[in-house]
Structures are given as structure tokens and as C-alpha cells.
Amino acid sequence: MIDQAKVRVLLLESIHPDAVSRLEAEGYQVESLRNALDEVELIERIPGVHLLGIRSKTQVTAKVLEAADSLVAIGAFCIGTDQIDLGTASKAGVAVFNAPFSNTRSVVELALAEIIAMTRRLTEKNNLMHEGVWDKAAVGSHEVRGRNLGIIGYGNIGTQLSVLAENLGMHVFFYDTADKLALGNAQRCSSLDELLELSDVVTMHVDGRPGNAGFFGAEQFAKMKQGAIFLNLSRGIVVDHGDLRDALTSGRLSGAAVDVFPTEPKGRGDEFVSELRGLPNVILTPHIGGSTEEAQADIGDFVANKLNHFVQEGNTTLSVNLPSVALPAQSGTSRIVHVHVNMPGVLAQVNSILAEHHVNVEGQLLSTRGEYGYLITDIGGAFSDDVLDKLRGMSQTVRLRVLS
């Protein structure tokens, strides 16, 4: 059982103060750092930490998780979780939570703003004005109305972008490897090549799983329309930036907007190095797709609540790696949560141990997900340490926690 006053929380990458306040209100010891930590630094800091909060730059590797002797949960205060070794986390019984919806609107609004800015060539006009050049020519400047938008990845962000772009008068096409319901008048493309051939603007909204590394390169740029515009607000590793530069300098593309990069500075003020610097009609932003005050406040509150409910109640609703279980708390009971290998007979074995020790079950809920199962059991009355020893000693047990 963890004493709440002794729960140590480490938050990295300037996570919103609302998260700090929420966790401190529960009596937790919270340390919040401005920057990300590399693997060596995090391995040094992680012992004794119960809750870890990160954003997109911090890599929670297998080595980090092996050094985490007290960790019970990780909060990704962002959408993506590919920076976390989910397999190792599951094997250790460490729950991982993210914010799959909180910054969707912020990313979509940035994408729309960049599409309009590049289609109107605002970046070039702005640069000329700052140089004292008055150029009112309309050459190369277009309305977005009537143009074709191709969305690669039709998830939470892609679908909302689809709806808002259509409201601007754009014709929306999308491609996704999973079956997705088209919203509004959006049309599904049967292949990526079909989308590239149709689209005046192509925007990436895929995840950063290893299989997506180098997903978009010279071959794909060559299949895009002459003079098309390209956006990537997903993950830096999915696009070959050298090939993107070649497509821009050759005139194949008329513009690009990039918010994510294969290698990003650790903190504010550090030098940003990229082959895309200095190119005209290219918008470069420092991974700020979800960085609005509204989104960050919502993310801070959402993920902090998930972490707190897991610590105090064992609830795993919306966990990205453990089965989703939420059992209403009952007064006068003790709660045991059991992460185990998903094998037949585990529930029967747990209840057999409880019955042998005359422990009364007041409430129980089990769910499985892939290799693992997650069981919450509320029991009435006292129980001996022998009960816990027997449960921990089961061959299928990954982790056992007593919450109250």
C-alpha cells in the first residue's frame, strides 16, 4: 500500500501547472522540470518515483523502466505514446495514460492556418514586406475553396480537420490503413498513391510507431501534384526531410509546413538544426501543434486525474496498455488490484485463495487485453499477509497492489 503523502511524482517538459496543482492537492510530492531528460539522466532520476509525467521528447525505454523500482504509472501529457516502451511497461504492470482528445482542436486549427497561409503565400509576402519590398502580385496565390485536401491518417485529428476543411469549401480525400467512416462528403482513397495524385494539399496525421519511420519520402513526393503543398504535424520520423527539401527546391512542391522533426532540441532556447531552414514558403514551428493554453490546461487536468484515479482506485479507463477496468469504490472494503498474464483459470485461482482464507468478496471486475489481464477485487473485513503472499506467488502474477 502506498502512503499518499509519500507518493513521488516527476513531471518533465514543462507540464501545465494545473497538473502540478491537481497532484499536489492529493498530498503527493511533485517535482516539475522544464526540460526533457535523456535516457542516462532519467535512469538516474527514476528510482523512488511512483508517477512519471512526460510529453513527446522524453524516451521511456526498457532500461529506464528496469531502473524504475517504484513506478506504478506513466502519464503522457500529449496524444502519442510511441516514446514509451509499452511492452516493457505492461510486463512490469505499469499503467500508461495519455490525452487522446484534449489537443485535437489545437492541432487542427494550426493545420488550417498553415494551409491558408501557404496557399496565399503569406510567408513570402511577409518576408518581402519586412525587407521593404511592396509586391501586390496575385501570382501563385489561391483560395482554399475548391481545392483538394488529402488527409493521411483519419483518426481524431484527421476527422476533425476533415469536417472543418469541408466547411471552408475544400474537397476532402483521406487514406487510412484501418477502416474508417467518412464524415460529411469526405471520400476514402483505396491507396496512398490515389490520394497523392488527387490532392492539392497533403497533410500527415499518423502515429510514430517504428513501422512508420521513413513512411514518406522521395517516391511519395514524386507522385504528388506539381506545385502541391505538404504538411506534417504528426511525428518527425515519418518523413524524410532531405527528400522534402529536394521536392521544395526543385519546385515539385510549392510549400510545406512542418511542426515535428526527427531530432528536436531538448529545451527552449536550444539551437534548432534542420535542412529545411531558410527555404521560402516553408513554415517551421517548434512542435506546437497542441501547445495552446487551452489544450495544455485540459491535458494537464485530464492526465493528472487519470494518474490519481489509478493510484487511489486502481481504475484503468483509457489506459493505452492495460485492460480498461473501473469498479465503483465501496465504503468499508479493501481493494486489491492484480495484473496478471492472461491465462485460463486465473480468476478461479484468485477466488480459491480468498475462499481458503475465509475472505469475503464484496465486488470484483476482470478484463483482459492481449497478453495481460487486470482484476480489481473489493473484500470485506480483515485479511492476512498470507493472502497477499499467496496471490503474489501465483505463476501468472505480474503485479499486485493493495489500495486500501
Secondary structure of the chain in the HEC alphabet?
Answer: CCCHHHCEEEECCCCCHHHHHHHHCCCCEEEECCCCCCHHHHHHHCCCCCEEEECCCCCECHHHHHHCCCCCEEEECCCCCCCECHHHHHHCCCEEECCCCCCHHHHHHHHHHHHHHHHCCHHHHHHHHHCCCCCCCCCCCCCCCCCEEEEECCCHHHHHHHHHHHHCCCEEEEECCCCCCCCCCCEECCCHHHHHHHCCEEEECCCCCHHHCCCECHHHHHHCCCCEEEEECCCHHHECHHHHHHHHHCCCEEEEEECCCCCCCCCCCCCCCCCCCCCCCEEECCCCCCCCHHHHHHHHHHHHHHHHHHHHHCCCCCCCCCCCCCCCCCCCEEEEEEEEECCCCHHHHHHHHHHHCCCEEEEEEEEEECCEEEEEEEEECCCCHHHHHHHHCCCCEEEEEECC
Q: What is the pLDDT of residues 10-42, one digit of tens each?
A: 999 999 999 999 999 999 999 999 999 999 999
Q: Where are the domains of the chain?
A: 1-102+293-322, 104-284, 323-404
Q: Among the options 264, 309, 399, 401, which is catalytic?
A: 264
pLDDT band at residue 281 under the 50/70/90 scheme: confident
pLDDT band at residue 207 under the 50/70/90 scheme: confident
Q: What topology does CATH give the domain 104-284?
A: Rossmann fold (3.40.50)
Do the first three CATH levels of 1-102+293-322 and 104-284 match, i.e. the same topology? Answer: yes
| Residue 101: per-residue pLDDT | 87
Q: Among the options 287, 335, 338, 340, which is catalytic?
A: 287
Answer yes or no: is pLDDT of 316 > 80: yes
CATH for the 323-404 domain, from 3.30.70.260, 3.20.20.140, 3.20.20.150, 1.10.10.410: 3.30.70.260
pLDDT band at residue 3 under the 50/70/90 scheme: low
| Residue 1: per-residue pLDDT | 57
Q: Among the options 235, 252, 335, 338, which is catalytic?
A: 235
287 is catalytic: yes
pLDDT band at residue 288 under the 50/70/90 scheme: very high
Q: Look at domain 1-102+293-322 and name its CATH class.
A: alpha beta
142 is catalytic: no
| Residue 157: per-residue pLDDT | 95
pLDDT band at residue 2 under the 50/70/90 scheme: low
Answer yes or no: is pLDDT of 235 > 90: yes
Q: What is the pLDDT of residues 252-270, one digit of tens each?
A: 999 999 999 999 987 788 8
Q: What is the pLDDT of residues 166-193, one digit of tens each?
A: 999 999 999 999 999 999 999 999 999 9
**What would the mean pLDDT of 79-85 be, rounded to a whole number?**
92
